[in-house]
């Protein structure tokens, strides 16, 4: 069982830490030299630079702000919670020293979003908007939280304001995500291409551009265009060496193409850089498909342990892969339901509904499964796994024509989304055809 989950789902919220803000400094002296070093140097050098500045100027809010920004960039690069926690401490100190810092509220909102505390993120965005209603990034922050809460109309309005105020890398990348969710994959690709063009002109950090390349590749991945996806992942690695997101997605493509040795090497390298639980699961799936169950089980156990650590760190909403793993493995279904219900609490997010639908399906609660899957499909998102789940739920209720439609849509959207599920979809389509002919 090799399950290729949508690469869009679980890393868009790591989106877009904006580049250095350029604000007049409260103390009146210029920071142009500092800003130049921050842009041209890696995050680690920035962190050391601003630590030194703070030692010399312990009451200067600006240096705490810049230290926090540098930690956020480090967090983006490594995809781990530690730098964000350090960023939060630095920025909270900056806010103590200068309570009207627009940038501090933006950064705290971004950190809250990373921790999946979206209501808190919205509150920070509101405070930022009160201070600077003419600045675009605060509406983007607000839209990000609305998006993750499934408040899609509100997200559209916020992103629209952001685009109006400042068309560029950060606004078009967000528009791309919305277009993908609303089923306009071609529009999403065009918007992300615009975002990258703006990013190159803005001379953003290499990781930001590499991130955008991975997102663009993932759009192609979701349409089954594996070669194009692979090319963008490789471009991301050319821009930012050893970028864990690009390595993981490249591993995904290699696994689908049957290049298992290369996929295993890439996943192992990814895990060295960033031991996220979903990466353990993906690597375990490969070993399981090769009959190496002991290795697979060890990796699955590591994944579960990693999820426990994430929960202990206070990060919410990262359990969907674990839930899908439990459900596809037909184990811990009660726990899976509890996790899915917790994930879907206070949100209208389509992927939370999809996960909940799949748990209900495996627990044979088909009415609840149908209600949840209907909610997951409400935007018309072109995601093969969503339609596969819908097909299975309909098939189990003898809604054969609807089931066939969903299976065919899944295969049309991405014929590589999961080899076992692809084979099952094809077999069930043949079975449904026989049933429908018999009924005539």
Give the DSSP letter string of 109-139.
HHHHHHTT-HHHHHHHHHHHHHH-TT-SHHH
**Is domain 321-439 given the CATH code 1.25.40.10 in the classification?**
yes
Of residues 126 and 316, the one with the higher pLDDT is: 126
pLDDT number for residue 317: 63
Distances (CA, A) of 190 to 175, 178, 184, 206, 215: 10, 12, 10, 21, 12
pLDDT, tens digit, 9 for 90 and up, residues 341-382? 988 887 889 999 999 999 999 999 999 999 999 999 999 999
Q: Is the pLDDT of residue 311 over 80?
A: no
Identify the CA nearest to 26 among candidates 73, 49, 54, 59.
Answer: 59
Which pLDDT does position 112 carry in this prediction?
93
Instruction: Dig out the tokens for 115 from the structure.
Output: 């921790």
CA 396 → CA 275, 337, 401, distances in Å? Answer: 37, 19, 12
Residue 224 to residues 6, 213, 218: CA-CA distances in angstroms? 12, 17, 10
Closest CA to 13 of 75, 103, 82, 101: 75
HEC secondary structure over 348-365: CCHHHHHHHHHHHHHCCC
Give the position of tokens 């967000």. Answer: 174
Which residue from 82, 76, 69 is spatially nearest to 315, judged by alpha carbons?
82
Question: For domain 1-166, which CATH number applies: 3.40.190.10, 1.25.40.10, 2.40.30.110, 3.90.1300.10?
Answer: 1.25.40.10
Query: Are 386 and 379 spatial neighbours (Cβ–Cβ below 8 Å)?
Result: no
Q: DSSP 3-state assignment of 265?
A: helix
Q: For the chain, what is the total number of helices (H) and then of strands (E)? A: 23, 0
Range in 18-27, 167-176, 231-240, 326-335 the model is least confident about: 18-27
Mean pLDDT of the chain: 88
| CA–CA dist 88, 67 (Å, integer) | 10
Q: Which two tokens stand for residue 259?
A: 């290049």
- pTM comes to 0.84
Rounded-to-integer distance, Cα 230 and Cα 263, Å: 12
- Quick check: do 1-166 and 321-439 share a fold? yes
**Whole-angstrom distance, CA of residue 307 vs CA of residue 310:** 5
For residue 106, what are the contacts with CB-CB under 8 A and spacing of at least 6? Answer: 18, 21, 124, 125, 128, 137, 138, 141
- Percent pLDDT > 70 in the chain is 88
What would the pLDDT profile of 66-102 be if each residue is shown by its tens digit? Answer: 999 999 989 888 877 889 999 999 999 999 999 999 9
241-284: pLDDT as tens digits: 999 999 999 999 999 999 999 999 999 999 999 888 889 999 99
Q: Which residue has the tokens 């921790």?
A: 115
DSSP string, 185-226: HHHHHHHHHHHHHHHHHHT--HHHHHHHHHHHHHHHHHTT-H
User: With 50 as the cut, is the pLDDT of residue 14 above it?
Assistant: no
Confidence of residue 173 (pLDDT cuts 50, 70, 90): very high
Residue 205, phi-psi category: left (phi > 0), alpha (psi -120 to 50), beta (remainder): beta
- What is the Cα–Cα distance from 121 to 149, expressed in whole angstroms? 11
- Determine the Cα–Cα distance for residues 147 and 163; give it in Å rounded to an integer: 16
Give the mean pLDDT of 162-183. Answer: 96
| Sequence-separated (6 or more) residues with CB below 8 Å from residue 156 | 143, 178
How confident is residue 111, by pLDDT bands cut at 50, 70 and 90? very high
Distance CA 148, CA 146 (A): 6
DSSP H or E run through 383: none
Higher pLDDT, 344 or 393: 393
- Structure-token match 């020293």, residue found: 97
Task: Dump the DSSP string for 137-181.
Answer: HHHHHHHHHHHHTT-HHHHHHHHHHHHHH--SHHHHHHHHHHHHH
Where are the domains positioned within the chain?
Answer: 1-166, 321-439
> What is the C-alpha to C-alpha distance for residues 91 and 97, in angstroms, rounded to an integer?
10
Q: How confident is the model at residue 319 (pLDDT cuts 50, 70, 90)?
A: confident
Q: Tokens 């290369």 sit at which residue?
A: 262
Paired tokens of 429: 């389509």
């Amino acid at each position: 069982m090799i399950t290729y989950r949508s690469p869009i789902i679980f890393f868009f919220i790591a989106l877009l830490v904006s580049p250095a803000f350029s604000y007049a400094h409260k103390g009146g002296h210029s920071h142009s030299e500092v800003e130049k070093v921050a842009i041209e140097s890696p995050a680690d050098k920035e962190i050391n630079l601003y630590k030194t500045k703070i030692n010399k100027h312990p009451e200067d809010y600006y240096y705490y702000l810049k230290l926090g920004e540098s930690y956020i960039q480090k967090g983006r690069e490594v995809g781990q919670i530690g730098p964000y926690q350090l960023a939060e401490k630095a920025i909270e100190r900056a806010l103590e020293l200068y309570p009207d810092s627009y940038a501090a509220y933006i950064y705290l909102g971004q950190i809250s979003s990373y921790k999946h505390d979206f209501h808190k993120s919205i509150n920070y965005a509101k405070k930022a908007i009160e201070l600077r209603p003419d600045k675009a990034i605060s509406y983007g922050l607000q839209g990000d939280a609305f998006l993750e809460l499934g408040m899609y109309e509100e997200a559209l309005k916020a992103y629209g304001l952001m685009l109006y105020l400042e068309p560029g890398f950060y606004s078009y990348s967000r528009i791309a995500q919305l277009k993908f969710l609303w089923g306009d994959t071609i529009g999403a690709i065009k918007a992300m291409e615009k975002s990258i063009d703006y990013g190159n002109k803005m001379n953003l950090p290499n990781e930001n551009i590499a991130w955008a390349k991975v997102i663009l590749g993932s759009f192609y991945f979701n349409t089954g265009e594996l070669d194009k996806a692979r090319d963008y992942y490789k471009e991301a690695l050319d821009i930012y060496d050893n970028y864990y997101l690009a390595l993981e997605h490249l591993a995904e493509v290699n696994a689908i193409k049957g290049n298992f040795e290369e996929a295993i090497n890439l996943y192992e390298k990814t895990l060295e850089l960033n031991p996220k639980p979903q990466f353990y699961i993906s690597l375990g799936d490969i070993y399981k498909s090769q009959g190496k169950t002991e290795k697979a089980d060890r990796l699955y156990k590591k994944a579960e342990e990693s999820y426990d650590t994430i929960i202990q760190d206070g990060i919410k909403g990262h359990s969907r892969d674990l839930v899908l793993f439990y459900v596809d493995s037909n184990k811990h279904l009660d726990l899976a339901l509890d996790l899915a219900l917790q994930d879907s609490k206070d949100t209208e997010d389509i992927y939370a509904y999809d996960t909940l639908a799949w748990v209900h399906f495996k627990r044979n609660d088909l009415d609840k499964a149908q209600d949840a899957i209907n909610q997951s499909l409400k935007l018309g998102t072109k995601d093969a796994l969503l339609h596969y789940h819908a097909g299975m739920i309909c098939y189990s209720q003898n809604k054969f024509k609807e089931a066939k439609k969903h299976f065919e849509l899944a295969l049309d959207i991405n014929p590589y989304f999961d080899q076992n599920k692809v084979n099952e979809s094809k077999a069930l389509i043949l079975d449904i055809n026989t049933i429908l002919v018999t009924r005539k």
